[in-house]
Amino acid sequence: MRIEGRAVVVGEDIDTDQIIAGRYLRTKDRQIWAGHVFEDYDPKLRERLRGSIIIAGKNFGCGSSREQAVIALQEGGVLAVVAPSFARIFFRNAINIGLPAIEGECECRDGEGVVVDIDEGFIECGGNKTEIKPISNKMQEILLAGGLVSLWRLRNQ
């Protein structure tokens, strides 16, 4: 699996409230979530998410275990998130919903082109190529299917 996009660089300890504030969770409308993603972190960030790969600092997705944070990112156009570490529940929510959460580090500037190659195990940005933590075959299967529910549907048709 190869993912290419533009880097959107964010800091460390980005919590799920910064990704999608609780005040927007009274609805199940995913487009509303996408319209308010990162609103409390940086209101202009949402405009740059379509086709992006988020390059984050450590502990991305900490805070509450809401899966809406992953959905808001995905609906906002994020292709993958790369961080040195993730909150474990966020990481599994991302995989289960079909958003690649890649454990690794890279030096990227905002807007630079990024390539993540899960099969080959690297991320490349700004001419630098670094290794990423391998993703298990089972998790890759879930991602390729578009998420755990999609994989279940494929297997039970």
Maximum pairwise Cα distance, the chain: 44
Q: Where are the beta strands (DSSP E) in the chain?
A: 2-9, 52-55, 78-83, 101-103, 113-117, 122-125, 128-131
- From first to last of the 157 residues of the chain, give the pLDDT tens digit: 999 999 999 999 999 999 999 999 999 999 999 999 999 999 999 999 999 999 999 999 999 888 999 999 999 999 999 999 999 999 999 999 999 999 999 889 999 999 999 999 999 998 899 999 999 999 999 999 999 999 999 998 8
Cα–Cα distance, 14 to 58 (Å, whole number): 8
Tokens of 148: 């755990």
Sheet holding 128-131, edge to edge: 101-103, 78-83, 52-55, 2-9, 113-117, 122-125, 128-131
Name the fold adopted by 2-155.
Aconitase; domain 4 (3.20.19)
Nearest to 73 by CA among 50, 105, 102, 43: 50
The answer to whether 66 touches 76, Cβ cutoff 8 Å, is: no
**pLDDT value for 97:** 96
**pTM for the structure as a whole:** 0.94
